[in-house]
A and B are shown apart, each in its own frame.
Chain A
Amino acid sequence: MTALASAFRILRRVCATLTGATGFGIVVLVLVAALFAPWVATADPDRLDVMNRFAAPSSAHWLGTDQLGRDLYSRLVHGATVAMGVALSAIAIALSLGTTLGIVAAYLPARFERFVLIVFDVISSFPSMVLALAIVAVFGPSTLIVVAIAAITLTPHFGRVARAQVLTLKSAPFLEAERILGASFARIVVHHVLPNILGPLVILASMDIPVVITIEAGLSFLGLGVRPPLASWGTLIQDGYQYLSDSWVPVVVSSLALAVATLGFTLFGEALRDAVDPRIRQEL
């Protein structure tokens, strides 16, 4: 009850600024498009109509058609589903994996803690595109691989923040009080530590969504991610780029979709960060 109320309060504060409200509006728009793509779209995104390639925007095809006569607007809407599906699952994996590793690292003896941190550092310092090329070379391109690559790249973010949060919390008297009053280690971690460190992690998650969206689009553009004919913003830009001499519309509208979505999530994430607590700004 109170959690819901405070969520609403935070949301109100997010929307109090112009940038926050803009971000929130774009986020809602993208989410609706992603969740209800079959209804939001006006046509089957994969239906070919070769007679009608590069059609100009019209009432039948709001944004026109691509090189195979597929409805561009519907493909963009379905691209949102791919982008959000990849982003949310990668973030979910990175959030749970990173948080677990971060908490474990904070409670491990110094030697093992350092080992976990070095692994984090190695992943962070390794260019994610090179990592992606290596992984795709081994497993071949697929949507699942994109999720895996994004999750691996982002896990250290969450791990570092979680560890830092636990370290500041670890010696909190109320945790010691719980121990003296007989709480088990597992209960202290799950019941007391986790809820206390979750806030900054959720904000970090919202700010990492655009990062995953661009990773997915980038890999798909290079042909290393989502496989055609599945519509992804990355593959749409790639298709449009190849036929740029025939029509400028596909490449521009799909790039715009990507840019606007990324901007929206970034604005929303930043507003959320500021809305929750100015103190958290430093902790991130």
Chain B
Amino acid sequence: MMPLVSIRQLTLEAATTRGAAHILRGIDLDIGRRRIVGVVGESGSGKSSLAACLVRLLPANLSRIDGEIVFDGTDLLGLSEAAMNAYRGTRIAMIFQDPMTALNPLFTIGTHLVDVLRRRHPGLARKVATARAIAMLRRVGIADASLRFSSYPHQLSGGMRQRVLIAMALLVEPDLLLADEPTTALDATVEAQIVALLEELRHGFAGSIVFISHQLGLVAQLCDDLCVMYGGTVVETGPVADVLGAPRHPYTRALLACELDDDAAGGHLVSIPGDVPDPVSAHVACVFAPRCPHATNACRSSVPALRDAGPGRRAACMRMEELG
């Protein structure tokens, strides 16, 4: 079956005073139908830019965008603004990082939900929309749903607001749901609740989800596929269990080593030496080479291709066969 979204050689550059910043350097990624794809990477690896490309809301200082994003047979990058807008809020929806600011403070929860529904289904009767919105609030675990329907955002806690945002996204019934670090702004207990909610909701959801996070643990728990990003490139993709069980790219291995482990309590935190690559530097070598313990001269002089690395898996390391 054709994947829902195929991203091919997606390149994004922004103009800065120091020259062009390479935000994405030729991304290849498939998002399968009804799959949850976890996108992980450090800050600045291009995760959120990838999500921005999928809804085509790009930074104002954008100087170049290349490649293609084929969404169900249509290249999104070739669409007019009006045609693209027809995808937003109907076939693509998003859950945001900070639920405290993602709702308009002047409107009630109900207004937000009904607006989304009526944009999705023009001509839907207000009564029907209200009933559906309240049902959806209940489904995302808001107890006194009809009371909360007429509450204002400031009257809700962070966890509840994130539930409202999830309800908004689900009311759209999108083919593609983008979740950009939806739990980062929440405290740990609420985070666990939201993750549990997402896990529960995925069974009733017919679309695909892109789950952006920097926590491998979360991704392992929630996702089917994993995409590891580094310095604006995809370094490894594949089914979550396979990638985390036997990573083929040194960066994925290093990331795994950084995860907090219960038995390592008392030991010191593992970190990857070195810094994230400068986005302004030219793309002539493996982006991870400066921090990679296995880098050779070849790694520093040519760009490794994203190659097959087992069933359904791809990795961008020249030495993956030798390194095992």
B163 to chain A, nearest CB (A): 15
Across the two chains, which residue of chain B brings its CB closest to A178? B104
Assess the A183–B102 pair: CB atoms within 8 A: no
Q: How far is the CA of A263 from the CA of B87 in the complex (A)?
A: 56
Q: How large is the interface on A (under 10, 10 to 19, 20 to 34, 35 or more residues)?
A: 10 to 19
Assess the A181–B103 pair: CB atoms within 8 A: no
Q: How far is the CA of A172 from the CA of B103 in the complex (A)?
A: 9
B161 to chain A, nearest CB (A): 11
Assess the B119–A183 pair: CB atoms within 8 A: yes
Q: How far is the CA of A181 from the CA of B119 in the complex (A)?
A: 9
A172 to chain B, nearest CB (A): 6
Find chain A residues with CB under 8 A from B115 CB. Answer: 183
Across the two chains, which residue of chain B brings its CB closest to A193? B104
Interface of B with A (CB < 8 Å)? 55, 57, 85-90, 92-94, 96-98, 101-106, 115-116, 119-120, 165, 168, 172, 178
- Residue pairs across A and B with Cβ atoms less than 8 A apart, 10 shown, are A173-B101, A173-B102, A174-B105, A175-B104, A176-B96, A180-B88, A181-B93, A182-B86, A183-B115, A192-B104
Across the two chains, which residue of chain B brings its CB closest to A199? B106
Contact A179 to B102, CB < 8 A, known contacts A173-B96, A184-B85? no
Contact A181 to B94, CB < 8 A, known contacts A172-B101, A196-B106? yes
Q: Is A127 an interface residue (CB 8 A)?
A: no
Find chain A residues with CB under 8 A from B57 CB. Answer: 176, 179-180
Contact A179 to B88, CB < 8 A, known contacts A174-B103, A195-B106, A196-B106? yes
Q: How far is the CA of A165 from the CA of B57 in the complex (A)?
A: 22
Assess the A173–B94 pair: CB atoms within 8 A: no
Assess the A174–B104 pair: CB atoms within 8 A: yes
Q: Is A137 an interface residue (CB 8 A)?
A: no
Q: How far is the CA of A180 from the CA of B98 in the complex (A)?
A: 15
Q: How far is the CA of A192 from the CA of B106 in the complex (A)?
A: 8
Find chain A residues with CB under 8 A from B93 CB. Answer: 180-181
Which residues of A in the span 156-196 have a Cβ within 8 Å of any Cβ on B? 172-184, 192, 195-196
Find chain B residues with CB under 8 A from A172 CB. Answer: 101
Q: How far is the CA of A182 from the CA of B105 in the complex (A)?
A: 19
Contact A180 to B94, CB < 8 A, known contacts A174-B101, A174-B102? yes
